[in-house]
Structure 1
Amino acid sequence: MSRYAVTGGLVADGGGGEPEPGDVLVDGERIAVVGPPGAFSGVPEIDASGLVVAPGFIDAHSHADNAPFLAADDTTKILQGVTTEIVGNCGFSLAPRGDAATYTEYVSRLFPQVEPTWTGFPGFLAAADAGGYVTNHCPLVGHGTLRVAAFGIADRPPAPAELAEMRRCLEEALEAGAFGLSSGLIYPPGAYAGTEELIALAAALGPGRVYATHLRAEGAHLIPAIEEALRVAADTGCRAQISHLKSVGRSNRGGVGRALALLDRARESGLPVRQDAYPYAASSTSLTAALPPSYLAGDAPAVLARLCAPDAARRLARDLADGPPGWENRVALAGWDAMLITDTASGAHVGRTLAEVAADLRADPVEALIHVLVSERLRVSAVTFWMDEDDVRAALAHPHTMIGSDGLPPGTAGRPHPRLYGTFPRILGRYVREAGVLTLGEAVRRMTALPAAWFGVPDRGRIAPGLIADLVAFDPVTVRDTGDYHDPAGAPEGIAWVAQAGRLTVTDGRHLGVRAGRRLLPARS
């Protein structure tokens, strides 16, 4: 159908108001008219009785950069009603590429195996375009990837020529269509960057592009870490996005409220800053993040050599107890029993906490950590249970919070964090219907119009005449996530259908096997 009416449903148009009865006339790729019930006759109809019709959801924090290169369609987001993803977060992007071996070492820390045919960001975009997109992609360029392309995984500041090369590659990416710059300041090599380096790069963004940052700290040093991001925005005029806002560690409960107060004061002073969050009290990343940054400099053989050196366990135990200033020890903040292994290169240890692995090995937990990392050649992911539910709710309740899944890239084996499969239905089920943290209309705004306007997603985010007909219809009574940490891949329930540019691509919880997404270009601000 190129022209049809969606009838009988409640329309949540993305503006934040509660859904109201209405019909939507779609003509080709765009919304033609939004009218009262029964306004359209003589055209085919899609009956949305009992459903809420909303703009397609926008995932404000995704790592699905590699999805176009997979043989299988990545349906983890489209089945949730997500039609657009902001990719390239936490300093990781798949371009630019410098030295081939160093590039492969770096990107393999997050992404399943990728065989690049490109060097610069324009070549990467061309290759991704050729592969096709299940959802729309809005790419960021990663600061870590820029650093690796210029001078590798080195624990030092860039030389002037190296910084100039990073800036050149960033400007090339922006010219090619990148929506902004991301950083991951707990991950090497981002952890080795100073604030002045970040400012020098973010100055290329201008007022319409976003600097999205995985902060340098999310526990006791959360406030100084946010202040660093605010300084980048203040000194460059770019938009600052605080990625997956949280407060981690049992001793830091309540930290989200203090962070939000700081961010509100910054907004009142005129700084453009927003944040995203996910609706879970556990995070997920590489297990190497448990190591002090100095252990992670260089390539994998260098890291493994440090872990295999004589007395490595004794020295690591000392360094975990007396880490460098500002570094936040995830073991101390969470505890060995709160770190659940979700994926390894061999499949061993999956579903076990580090405390359980240590007991299995009859070893000290530090020795178990080293054993797992060395035996799996550093390819280990873990979920960490170290957040407080009240902090999660505080982040979700704030009017400037967007929703991001922060799931591992598609194609990852093991048991990824359930947020990869259930973030958006979980917002609608648990935090709207059950807990009342958000109204339905406000939740839809956070997942649609807010990120569309902030990131410059063109012609999407609202149900309004002239905009692209990216739509999702869901049952507000039954919509929910179904996965958990031991069985995460449960398909969401209550998502009736999804349309992309007017074309139905999901019906009855089933993807119709078409890559109908596009790579988008930033809207002019």
Structure 2
Amino acid sequence: MQRCDIILQDGTVIDGTGATAQRADVAMEGGRILHVGDCSEIKADEVIDASGQVIAPGFIDVHTHDDWALLATPDMAFKVTQGVTSVVAGNCGISAAPFSAKGDLPAPFDVIPGISAGRFDTVEAYASAVTEARPAVNVRLLAGHSSLRASVMGADLERAATESEINAMRDALELALRQGAAGLSSGLDYPAALSAPMEEMIELAGVLKGHDRAVYTSHMRDESDTVIASVRETLETGQRSGARVVISHHKCAGKANFGKSVETLKLIDAARCGHEVALDVYPYVASSTSLIERFLPSAEDIKVIWSTPHPEQDGRMLNEIAADWGVSREMAVTRLQPAGAIYFDMDEGDLQRIMQHPAAMIGSDGLPGVDKPHPRLWGTFPRVLGRYVRELKLLELTQAIHKMTGLSATQFGMIDRGVVRAGCIADLVIFDPDQVADMADFDHPTRPSRGISHVMVNGALALADGQQTTTRAGAFLS
């Protein structure tokens, strides 16, 4: 009789491809899936009863800022407890590597705790740090445009890069890709990159063409009043550079822009006829980033989640703070700096329309390392399964799982992951489709989700019977 390490017995397998669910066992050996189907002729060291539950590929969080959290808090409880087995870090132009800049830098660098202590000249050095830290989940790293800019240009970022500076960034990006980076990310809506013209991005994104499955992800130049123009710019950057494109956390912020997703998605569909374009989205109508005065007009309400000079204001609404101080919102923002905030600035209709798009993946955009984060850090994936699949029936369960797994793995070059198939890496999650739900909310943002019983990372149990284990089997993925 054939032997294996673990058998997940009698579950409903949703394999991540979008295919119909099937009742099956899943056998694992040596960190890989050995067999999917009837495993009665296989002897296992451990058998896990999955009856009444779904067996799916481990969720892939395609939009994170976990670069430093993987090193500082390697248990990664906020990922493991929601079924995430792999993360894509280095988004919005900020990456831990390649990043050799010294000193203080403008937003959005201030939004990531640990950034001052953990800057790595090369992706290779960062990968070594990940290996030493032994995080509980896998990581795929993007090289951040703002990190490249700051490394080459220092703090002099309010201008376009010169030809020699672009060449230096191209060289650093080329090395990063050779050392395993997944591609290039940008954060053109922030002070660190606002002055970078499209031509600068085209020059850098062009480096990706020589690397299989490398991708350009963009937090676009604007997600509010000029969102349509920003989509056009992003798509043109991809077309002219030849780079595959992912539009980050696609949204239409501000009441005046509600409904514009109809047009932005039409633009994306037209571009997809001749070019590879995808997008990611999180299941909330509030965003979160640095507290920046320029972002105030698009938000109905703003919640301050951290402030270095005024930590006593953490968790309070900006309007209340301004009223207590007897100043305008703009003056309150100045006093609170540096600070982070949650902006209530989106429309549920746009969110649902974007989430349903066939090229839309799920990403949390969570910001770890603060006491009162946006609840998306802890609740994104169970929220999709509970609210948007079970309650609202916006997505079929197989469709939602595909957006969290197989589609994500394909877009970010994660070989042998994202699907439940013999020979693939055993990154798996078991959950109850009738119970899975996010428990984190804006008042209690760090409550773990419910309904997820087991999580396996590279064949090792990271979560068992709903409790996190001490096993940390994650790896740097190149």
Contact 1:97 1:149 in 2 (8 A): yes
Residue of structure 2 equivalent to 1:406: 365
Residue type matched to 2:350 in 1? D
Shift of the alpha carbon at 1:508?
A: 2.6
Q: 1:258 to 1:128 in 2, by over 3 A?
A: same
Unaligned runs of 5+ in 1: 292-329
Residue of structure 2 equivalent to 1:83: 85
Extract structure 1 runs of 4+ deviating beyond 4 A.
102-106
| SS of match in other structure, 1:497 | strand
Residue of structure 2 equivalent to 1:229: 234
Give the Cα separation in 1 of the matches to 2:329 and 2:106: 30
1:162 aligns with 2:126: no
Residue of structure 2 equivalent to 1:138: 140
**What do the CA deviations read for 1:279-305 (whole angstroms, capped 9, x no partner)?**
0010000003x34xxxxxxxxxxxxxx
Give the Cα separation in 1 of the matches to 2:104 and 2:184: 21
Residue of structure 1 equivalent to 2:190: 187
1:491 aligns with 2:456: no
Unaligned runs of 5+ in 2: none
Shift of the alpha carbon at 1:442?
A: 0.6
Residue type matched to 1:173 in 2? A
Residue type matched to 1:148 in 2? A
Pairing 1:95-244 to 2, within 5 Å after superposition = 95-102=97-104, 107-116=109-118, 118-153=120-155, 154-206=157-209, 208-244=213-249
Residue of structure 2 equivalent to 1:382: 341
Mean CA deviation greater in 20-29 or 171-180: 20-29
- Out of 333, 336, 342, the position equivalent to 2:298 is 333
Contact 2:427 2:456 in 1 (8 A): yes
Residue type matched to 1:219 in 2? S
Residue of structure 2 equivalent to 1:344: 307
- Out of 390, 394, 408, the position equivalent to 1:437 is 394
1:428 aligns with 2:385: yes
Mean CA deviation greater in 181-190 or 137-146: 181-190
Shift of the alpha carbon at 1:121?
A: 2.9
- Out of 230, 247, 257, the position equivalent to 1:252 is 257
**What do the CA deviations read for 1:77-106 (whole angstroms, capped 9, x no partner)?**
111111010110000001223342246997
| SS of match in other structure, 1:187 | coil
Q: 1:117 to 1:477 in 2, by over 3 A?
A: closer
Q: 1:105 to 1:407 in 2, by over 3 A?
A: closer
| SS of match in other structure, 1:396 | helix
TM-score of the aligned structures, taking structure 2 as reference length: 0.95
Contact 2:65 2:89 in 1 (8 A): yes
Q: 1:31 to 1:491 in 2, by over 3 A?
A: same
Mean CA deviation greater in 204-213 or 434-443: 204-213
Q: 1:254 to 1:104 in 2, by over 3 A?
A: closer
Contact 2:123 2:180 in 1 (8 A): no
**What do the CA deviations read for 1:455-497 (whole angstroms, capped 9, x no partner)?**
1101101101100111100000000000111210111000010
Contact 1:67 1:133 in 2 (8 A): no
Residue of structure 2 equivalent to 1:46: 48
Residue type matched to 1:359 in 2? A
Give the Cα separation in 1 of the matches to 2:198 and 2:360: 25
Give the Cα separation in 1 of the matches to 2:366 and 2:230: 23
Residue type matched to 1:177 in 2? G
Question: CA RMSD of the aligned region, Å?
Answer: 1.8
- Out of 324, 330, 336, the position equivalent to 1:366 is 330
Contact 1:9 1:21 in 2 (8 A): yes
Count of residue correspondences: 471
Shift of the alpha carbon at 1:351?
A: 1.9
Q: 1:176 to 1:499 in 2, by over 3 A?
A: same
Residue type matched to 2:306 in 1? D
| SS of match in other structure, 2:207 | coil
Residue of structure 2 equivalent to 1:263: 268
| SS of match in other structure, 1:191 | coil
Residue of structure 2 equivalent to 1:283: 287
Sequence identity percentage: 39
Give the Cα separation in 1 of the matches to 2:153 and 2:179: 23
Give the Cα separation in 1 of the matches to 2:104 and 2:37: 56
Q: 1:427 to 1:29 in 2, by over 3 A?
A: same
Shift of the alpha carbon at 1:257?
A: 1.9
Residue type matched to 2:348 in 1? E
**What do the CA deviations read for 1:20-59 (whole angstroms, capped 9, x no partner)?**
21111212211111114x6445434211011000001101
Q: 1:112 to 1:85 in 2, by over 3 A?
A: same
Contact 1:402 1:446 in 2 (8 A): yes
1:455 aligns with 2:419: no
Contact 2:68 2:115 in 1 (8 A): no
Mean CA deviation greater in 26-35 or 478-487: 26-35
Q: 1:241 to 1:358 in 2, by over 3 A?
A: same
